[in-house]
Amino acid sequence: MAELFSPEWMERFAAEWNKEPDLAGALSQIDFASNIAYGFVEEEGPRGFLQVVNGQAVGAGVYQGQPVNWDIRASVDQWMKWISSPPGMTGLGMAFTTGKIKFKVGDYKSMLKDPRMAGPFVKSFSVMGCV
């Protein structure tokens, strides 16, 4: 497996994202467009970058200072745990409450209140397991 959030990993994640109807398909129904960064809590900046337009991942690679709507962080161990055993909505809620997942940018609470976004967000973790 490629290093987590490396350019190769992010490109494979984007390809898997686009194959998943409960993720890309669901987000296309609400014209979701966002720049999403992924990284580790102990690092100053994110590592990976995903650009989503109309639900589809159209760009992926290294984060290079692009403006983002979401900057999602966790420890390496936590990311690896979620990749091997994707969390559900309750697990992510607990992770947020206990600080195991952090949003440097983005409003996690408002996203969870919108089931059109919450479901695909949870699904993105199982898609990571396909990379």
pLDDT, tens digit, 9 for 90 and up, residues 56-101: 999 999 999 999 999 999 999 999 999 999 888 888 888 888 989 9
Encoding tokens for residue 93? 């809620």
Q: Is the pLDDT of residue 2 over 70?
A: no
Q: How many C-beta atoms lie closer than 10 Å to residue 93's C-beta? A: 16
pLDDT at 93: 82
pTM greater than 0.85 (yes/no): yes
Arithmetic mean of pLDDT over the chain? 92
pLDDT, tens digit, 9 for 90 and up, residues 3-17: 999 999 999 999 999
pLDDT at 106: 87
pLDDT at 11: 97
Q: Quick one: CATH architecture of 7-128?
A: 2-Layer Sandwich (3.30)
Q: Tell me the mean pLDDT in the region 36-46.
A: 95
Q: What is the residue extent of each domain of the chain?
A: 7-128
3-state secondary structure the chain: CCCCCCHHHHHHHHHHHHHCHHHHHHHHCCCCCEEEEEEECCCCCCCEEEEEECCEEEEEEECCCCCCCEEEEECHHHHHHHHHCCCCHHHHHHHHHHCCCEEEECCHHHHHCCHHHHHHHHHHHHHHCCC
pLDDT at 89: 84
Phi, psi of 86 (to 5 degrees): -60, 140
pLDDT at 1: 54
Q: Is the pLDDT of residue 34 over 70?
A: yes
